[in-house]
């Protein structure tokens, strides 16, 4: 999974990340947005656009947000 949206997005859903995504792979997952891993081209445009710093490359997701890797996969329909 190239990028993962984590807990700081919950309740905020600013949409700045959606607006800058060149392949439109960021979707509404109810309480937060999620990135579809099969559609993401790993450009990273969403990372600086997020006003709450909720987006990380999968390998850089902080320990306290590791569960969001599986949550993003589940929201994407991959689990």
pLDDT digits (tens, 9 = 90+) for 7-45: 999 989 999 999 999 999 999 999 999 999 999 999 999
Predicted TM-score of the model (pTM):
0.92
How many structural domains is the chain composed of?
1
pLDDT attached to residue 29: 93
CATH number of the domain at 35, please.
3.30.70.20
CA distances from residue 16 to 13, 19, 59, 64, 77 in whole angstroms, order as listed: 8, 5, 23, 24, 23
Q: Give 79 or 22, the one with higher predicted confidence.
A: 22
Residue 56, SS3 per DSSP: strand
Structural domain range at position 50: 3-75
* Residue range 48-54: mean pLDDT, rounded: 97
How does residue 79 score in pLDDT terms, banded at 50, 70 and 90? low
């Amino acid at each position: 999974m190239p990028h993962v949206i984590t807990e700081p997005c919950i309740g905020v859903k600013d949409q700045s990340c959606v607006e800058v995504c060149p392949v439109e792979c960021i979707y509404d997952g109810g309480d937060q947005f999620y990135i579809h891993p099969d559609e993401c081209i790993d450009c990273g445009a969403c990372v600086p656009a997020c006003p709450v710093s909720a987006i990380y490359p999968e390998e850089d997701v902080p320990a306290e947000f590791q569960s969001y890797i599986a949550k993003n996969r589940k929201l994407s329909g991959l689990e």
